[in-house]
A and B are shown apart, each in its own frame.
Chain A
Amino acid sequence: MNKIIEFKNVSFSYSDEEERVLKNLSLDFYEGQFTCVLGHNGSGKSTMAKLINALLIPTEGSVISFGFDTADEKNETDIRRNIGMVFQNPDNQIVATIVEDDVAFGPENLGIERSEIRQRVDEALKLVDMYEYRRHEPHRLSGGQKQRVAIAGIIAMQTRCIVLDEPTAMLDPKGRREVMNALMKLKEDLGISIILVTHFMDEAVNADRVIVMNDGEVCVDGTPREVFTKVDLLKSIGLAVPKPLELAEALRKSGVDIGGTPLTSQEFVNEYKKFTETRGQ
């Protein structure tokens, strides 16, 4: 797999006096993967996201995004046309007063031709299921809808990677589901690499890779199944595990071991069926 982003011994602190937020971090991200970065508040996960597209520059070490060193100011545009970013607060990243104008904002900045922008905007809005809202005003949309507009704005720029910094933190469950569905579609239909920073465990379940951060360092790195089986470790750094797994764990501790590592409700049901069948025999 192609390496798209490379962290080489990266340390970062916001000012000289303050403690380092990231400590000698070395990490690679690969093309076409859905990577989920987990961690509680202050674990350095948002800082890491901002280092990826040169919003922050490492204090020590270097970050190479799509072959460009983020420390060099000349590379800024080259990096950002490859890596789009979606932030936590949907209100603070929508620039225009009409949905389709906002989606067009990125491509307009890249100097793309009028007819091509039109086409890209329509396609992007259809992909995130917001096409019928194209003439709406952003402030009349729900949080989930706004966040999908923000995602469409990145799709229209045709970036190869999209970094999302806690995009669902301010949304209700319905909005969260809408955004997650849009992201899965993005990965499957367009093959865009996704880096999702979040503290919701459930969102990591469908990822290809999960990175757990704690105190500015990578704590666990692997597939969701590998990561979530380390229930005690996750709990020790203040993270919850997905609810179905937690239930299975609780059952196991009270003497009913249904086996397996169910990450979703459906998996739990399947495991439980298997368990009752074997017990019935």
Chain B
Amino acid sequence: MIKDITIGQYFPGKSFIHNLDARFKIILTVAFLVLVFLCKNFWALGVVWVFGVVIYLLSRLPVKLILKSFKPLIPIILLTTVLQLHYINDGNVLFEWRFILITDKGIFTAIFIAARILLLLLVSSLLTYTTAPTDLTDAIEKLLSPLKIFKIEVHTFAMMMTIALRFIPTLIDEIDRIMSAQKARGADFESGNLINRIKALLPIFVPLFISAFKRAIELADAMSCRCYTGGDNRTRMRQMKISWRDIIASVVTVLIIGGVMALNILFENLI
């Protein structure tokens, strides 16, 4: 059940997208998210959508997997869409019943927003799908390193993230195990009202916390046994290199930002 969650997971590969420098990938992802918000009409959003789909095709991730990972998000997208329908009251009225008022503009806006949210989720999850967690944390460490002048321990922060990422699958296994053990002794997680269900979760979290602390102590011992003393005097095996791919990706993104702005000016804006 828990194991079906794919958001935040990494799928190894050798595609163009996989091979981009992680630092560029983070910056370009942020740029893309901004780009999605820049779009003011369907033409601009359409261009960005095409761009998004092209990126996905370049990443050569299995389509099935992507579809599967977005299943749990459908209710959220539907909910925001329905709310949007309700909020927009101008334009031609198509349907009116008591307090419900649906206009053509409302429908357009709702579709627009849904398309936007979906694209945002797709692209931001692509970052973790195609970037090894180690590359990601290395890149964050590098990108944040200017903060060192404010005496912020960037290395420690990056190490914390690495360990957190490393232990997510381990702790998921642990939760599964604890839940099975509780079920075997008659615990019921699936029925009853909300409060009862939350209460039923308590016997899962207590052992989970205890074991997390035990793991932390053991891991700290193991790390200090391997001479870990923090970020000073530490070397790194991996080196991050900027390649022609990163240049191409950046240029393309900049061009598309320009294009979107042009389309915003050329066509009538929806929002």
Contacts and interface: CB of A to CB of B under 8 A. Distances in A.
Interface string B218-238: 110111111111000111111
A101 B165 contact: no
B133 interface: yes
B138 to A, nearest CB: 9
A157 to B, nearest CB: 7
A226 interface: no
A98 B237 contact: no
Contacts of A101: 134, 237-238
A107 B229 CA distance: 12
**Interface on chain B toward A: helix, strand, loop, or mixed SS?**
helix
Interface residues of B, number: 32
Interface string B161-173: 0110110011001
Nearest to B218: A92
B166 A114 contact: no
A110 B227 contact: yes
B239 interface: yes
Contacts of A107: 235, 237
Contacts of B223: 95, 105
Nearest to B168: A139
B207 to A, nearest CB: 16
Given A91-B215, A95-B163, A97-B166, A85 B225 contact: yes
A117 interface: yes
A106 B215 CA distance: 19
Nearest to A121: B237
Contacts of A118: 237
B219 A109 contact: no
A80 B226 contact: yes
B146 interface: no
Given A117-B235, A117-B237, A87 B134 contact: no
A58 interface: no
Contact of B221 (A55, A153, A154): A55
A84 B225 contact: yes
B255 to A, nearest CB: 34
B225 A109 contact: no
B227 A80 contact: yes
A109 B166 contact: no
A80 B225 contact: yes
A135 interface: yes
Contacts, number: 98
Contacts of B214: 92
A98 B136 CA distance: 12
B249 interface: no
A112 B235 contact: yes
Contacts of B258: none
Nearest to A117: B237
A187 interface: no
Contact of B237 (A55, A114, A138): A114
A195 to B, nearest CB: 14
A97 B165 contact: yes
A105 B235 contact: no
Interface string B235-253: 1111100000000000000
A137 B12 CA distance: 10
B80 to A, nearest CB: 33
Given A91-B215, A97-B165, A114 B225 contact: no
A43 B12 CA distance: 46
A261 interface: no
Nearest to A103: B237
A137 B170 CA distance: 11
A19 interface: no
Interface in A136-173: 137-139, 153-154, 157
A114 B162 contact: no
A53 B225 contact: yes
A96 interface: yes
A94 interface: yes
Interface in A219-275: none
A96 B162 contact: yes
A96 B134 contact: yes
A108 B237 contact: yes
Given A77-B227, A138-B166, A157-B226, A98 B134 contact: yes
A109 B237 contact: no
Interface in A51-100: 53, 55, 76-77, 80-81, 84-85, 87, 89, 91-98, 100
A107 B226 CA distance: 8
A18 B168 CA distance: 37
Contact of A97 (B133, B226, B228): B133
Contacts of B132: 97-98
Contact of A105 (B169, B218, B228, B233): B228
B136 to A, nearest CB: 9
Given A55-B225, A92-B222, A114 B235 contact: yes
9 contacts: A55-B224, A85-B222, A92-B219, A93-B218, A95-B219, A97-B133, A105-B226, A114-B236, A139-B173
Return the 4 tightest CB-CB contacts between A and B, nearest first.
A93-B222, A92-B218, A104-B237, A139-B169
